[in-house]
Amino acid sequence: MAGKATHPSQLTFTDLDLSRWKEYEEVETDSLWIIPSRASGNGHQLDYHGNYVPQIATQLLTRFTRTDDVVLDLFLGSGTTAIEAANLGRRCIGVDLKPDLIAAVSEKIASTLPSDRTALFSGDSASEECRTQAEEILTRWGRDRAQFLLLHPPYHDIIRFSDSPEDLSNAPDTDAFLAMFRRVAENGHALLEPGRYAAVIIGDKYAKGELIPLGFQCMQVMQDLGFRLKSIIVKNISGNEKGKGRDSNLWRYRALKGGFYLFKHEYIILCQKPLR
């Protein structure tokens, strides 16, 4: 047929309307995210060492999910994803090894936000039982799979989250950490709807004077599992950093002496599960 091709203004994975794209100034499209400070309010608190800033969830869920979509977070922690999913009218399945954390997040959500669309449970996200339990929730909610996957694992042993051997922060070495991450990511891949997006939030570490590029290594795991790499976003971590004043001067001294640079960034690795 002759004439101008028409372009759909609605994509399947977002509520953003492309015909209004100029209005979405707050939506990031660049790969460098400088977030000056953590957003608070709307249910968010800085109450867990190692939680991510809520603005990451706001950005990702706005661009890559639609109202009522199910967001799956297999390292829930203090529930940043669940809280922001509720704020944005998305549903959330969240899993963490620590039962006390799940209880605390459930209580927090129940006291401030509608909780009937949030299902949180404790367990090992690498396990078959975790996958089965998540599938049961999806069935109850009338969905075959989740519409977004968020993975914010421990940055290996930088922060130890528990004494449990299933905890990725207790992996004896980098290879074991990556093997454990792979099993969780495999569950995530199986539970994610084809065509939909996944994000891994991860930083690197130093060990024995050498940089261990956990971000790129986890990215490789995602690609090995069949995810398509869409973006590597670099985000500043100055809003989160501890140790101001004398401590940070000491780190500066150590960096100068050891011939390395202090981490001021982490990664958000954005992937898509192919349609087939």
Residues that bind ligand SAM (CB under 6 A): 48, 50-52, 75, 77-78, 80, 95-98, 101, 124-126, 152-154, 161-162, 166-168
Q: Closer to ligand SAM at the Cβ: 126 or 271?
A: 126
* Least gap, CB of 261 to ligand SAM (angstroms): 22
* Least gap, CB of 257 to ligand SAM (angstroms): 29
Cross-strand bridge partners of residue 265: 236
- Scan for tokens 């809280």, then name that residue: 83
* Least gap, CB of 8 to ligand SAM (angstroms): 34
Residue nearest to ligand SAM (CB): 77
Instruction: Answer yes or no: are the C-beta atoms of 35 and 217 closer than 8 Å.
Output: no
* Least gap, CB of 19 to ligand SAM (angstroms): 34
Please give the structure tokens belonging to residue 20: 């209004």
* Least gap, CB of 163 to ligand SAM (angstroms): 11
Q: Closer to ligand SAM at the Cβ: 147 or 169?
A: 169
* Least gap, CB of 125 to ligand SAM (angstroms): 4
CA–chain centroid gap for 63, Å, is 14
Q: Closer to ligand SAM at the Cβ: 125 or 147?
A: 125
Give the residue among 53, 130, 50 at the shortest CA–CA distance from 94. Answer: 130
The residue type at 272: Q
Q: Closer to ligand SAM at the Cβ: 16 or 92?
A: 92
Distance CA 268, CA 52 (A): 11
Q: Closer to ligand SAM at the Cβ: 62 or 80?
A: 80
Angle CA 118–119–123, to nearest 5:
145
Q: Closer to ligand SAM at the Cβ: 126 or 200?
A: 126
Instruction: Answer yes or no: are the C-beta atoms of 65 and 89 closer than 8 Å.
Output: no
* Least gap, CB of 124 to ligand SAM (angstroms): 5
Please give the structure tokens belonging to residue 51: 């939680």
Please give the structure tokens belonging to residue 226: 């069949």
- Scan for tokens 């950490």, then name that residue: 177
Q: Closer to ligand SAM at the Cβ: 16 or 215?
A: 215
What single DSSP character describes residue 80? H
Alpha-helical segments (H) within 113-238: 128-140, 174-191, 214-224
Please give the structure tokens belonging to residue 103: 């209880």
Instruction: Answer yes or no: are the C-beta atoms of 92 and 73 closer than 8 Å.
Output: yes
